């Protein structure tokens, strides 16, 4: 392999890349979102400056992705926190648990999504939409919502999907010192909302040392949504360099 070919590589292994170098298109990407109030002091301990916590609200999400270019079929779950950066409201993506190695690798390497391995599920049980997350053999989250009780305006659902997302991008040097340490921002703009519903919802979180979702306890469920979309992800852009600061 020539030097110039090596420089064009996106990821390794050389003969079997961990993920394809493409812009990912999601068809029939399905969301279960549970918005809930939590302990504001717990949020302040986790949300990095220069982000600020606007209200003590967390979104627990389970996303079913049955048709993704290059990545196939997989499911994710995670927690996002309501924040503000320089007057712009958005969400800080705290953690994501994913059942696909290519999706984990591409999300962490190519972008800044805080992904680790987990076993989420999203399914309909009789008249109830159910989202669960297992870490190893243990259940760490169970979310339920009444199935398609009330329609949501598609414009409101689109605004929900298109909220700016902030994440931390960290890459160490070989000696363990930080090489990249940035706050980055992304925002979905290419999206078609196919359906949107809301209904009564509940969320139960279980304590776990390595999947600490319950460290942000559920004090009150604020609202919930069930969305089906087609969308593409946009690249991230750095908004704050911790090493330069």
Both tokens of 131, joined, read 């989202």
CA–CA gap between residue 152 and residue 225 (Å, rounded)? 8
Task: Yes or no: say if 31 and 70 are a contact pair by the CB < 8 Å rule.
Answer: no
- Output the CA–CA distances (angstroms, integers) from residue 1 to 4, 10, 82, in the order listed: 8, 15, 47
Q: Which long-range contacts (CB under 8 A, 24 or more apart) does 54-57 make?
A: 54/82, 54/83, 54/84, 54/89, 55/82, 56/82, 56/219, 57/81, 57/82, 57/222
115 carries an active-site annotation: yes
Catalytic residue, chosen from 115, 116, 169, 194, is 115
Which residues are marked as active site? Answer: 115
């Amino acid at each position: 392999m020539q030097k110039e070919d090596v420089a064009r590589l996106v990821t390794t292994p050389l003969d079997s890349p961990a993920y394809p170098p493409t812009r990912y298109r999601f068809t029939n990407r399905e969301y279960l979102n549970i918005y809930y109030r939590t302990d504001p002091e717990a949020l302040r301990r986790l949300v990095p400056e220069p982000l600020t916590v606007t209200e003590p609200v967390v979104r627990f999400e389970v996303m079913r992705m049955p048709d993704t270019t290059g990545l196939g079929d997989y499911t994710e779950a995670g927690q996002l926190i309501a924040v503000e950066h320089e007057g712009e409201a958005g969400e800080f993506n705290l953690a994501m648990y994913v059942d696909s190695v290519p999706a984990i690798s591409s999300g962490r390497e190519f972008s800044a999504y805080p992904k680790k391995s987990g076993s989420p599920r999203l399914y309909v049980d009789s008249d109830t939409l159910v989202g669960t997350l297992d870490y190893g053999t243990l259940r760490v989250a169970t979310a339920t919502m009444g199935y398609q009780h009330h329609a949501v305006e598609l414009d409101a659902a689109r605004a929900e999907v298109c909220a700016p997302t902030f994440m931390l991008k960290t890459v160490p040097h070989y000696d363990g010192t930080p090489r990249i340490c940035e706050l980055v921002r992304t925002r979905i703009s290419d999206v078609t909302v196919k359906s949107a519903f809301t209904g009564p919802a509940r969320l139960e979180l279980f304590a776990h040392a390595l999947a600490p979702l319950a460290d942000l306890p559920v004090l009150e469920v604020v609202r919930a949504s069930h969305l089906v979309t087609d969308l593409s992800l946009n690249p991230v852009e750095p908004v704050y360099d911790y090493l330069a600061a």
